[in-house]
Amino acid sequence: MSGRPAVGTPPPIAPRFDALIAQADAEAPLKLGILGGTFDPVHLGHLHIAEQAYAQYGLTGVLFIPTGRPAWKLDRPISSAEDRIAMLSAALSDNPHFDLCRLEIDRPGVTYTIDTLRTLKAYWADAVELYFIVGADAAHELSEWRDASAIATLVTILAARRPGVLSEQSDGGLPFDLRPIDTVPLDISSSELRTLAAAGRSLRYVVPEPVRSYIREHGLYGEVAHEVVGEAADGAVREAIR
């Protein structure tokens, strides 16, 4: 692809950053963080590593890119793209340096990161330097990703620690420019949150409040809308506020 489409040409890749990026060039490129994931659901662990990467590496912003059909998660059903997008936009709406990208969601078929990075590069050329944000589990698998050596030439990897995952494992010997993100390691994963929700347990304090409401209102993860915790003396049923 040659040249960038005019600002405002639908669909925007990064609605909040596109206009800014259009003014940047190779002389003064913008630093943009990319955080890819299934986000089923997005949780405070994701938001925290993105925020710390933003602050520590002087990024202009962080672009969250939910996967369409991730290559490595074909073995379990995942929530619909629209549910995951809705939860993400609710989670990101109050932070002007976070943005949401539909690139992978709108692309049919299985998702590979290299395709996304090439598309972004084709779109923005040298106006943007890409910083790919990962947790330690993803960092260790980088060398197994499709076209990993090409990924290494396109991005700087910013890696955050993740409880239960060793930080010292090798990156498979590929020449990644890998730098640490200093975080408070949060032991939160979407899988555990799905299990918690399915058991009718509270997701308060581990996902942003609007995400928690969305999960409840749409009955995601087999969550029952209200948990009955007891009966009052007059027979009225009390419900747990989750």
Q: Are 30 and 128 in contact (CB under 8 A)?
A: yes
In whole angstroms, give the CA distance from residue 223 to residue 240: 13
DSSP 143: G
In whole angstroms, give the CA distance from residue 17 to residue 93: 14
Which listed range, 14-22, 44-52, 123-131, 220-228, lies at the site for ligand ATP (CB under 6 A)?
44-52
Binding to ligand ATP by residue 207, rule CB under 6 A? no
Residues 175-196 as b/e (b if ≥16 CB within 10 A, e otherwise) read ebebeebebebbebbbeebbee
Restricting to residues 165-194, name those near ligand ATP by CB under 6 A.
186, 188-191
- Binding mask 45-84 toward ligand ATP (x if CB under 6 A, else -) reads xx--x-----------------------------------
- Binding mask 93-132 toward ligand ATP (x if CB under 6 A, else -) reads ----------------------------------------
Which listed range, 12-20, 33-41, 143-151, 205-213, lies at the site for ligand ATP (CB under 6 A)?
33-41
User: What is Dmax (Cα atoms) for the chain?
Assistant: 73
State which of residues 40, 51, 129, 223 lies at the interface with ligand ATP (CB under 6 A).
40
In whole angstroms, give the CA distance from residue 181 to residue 56: 7
Strand partners, 134: 159
Under the rule (CB under 6 A), what is the footprint of ligand ATP? 37-40, 45-46, 49, 134-135, 137-138, 160, 162, 186, 188-191
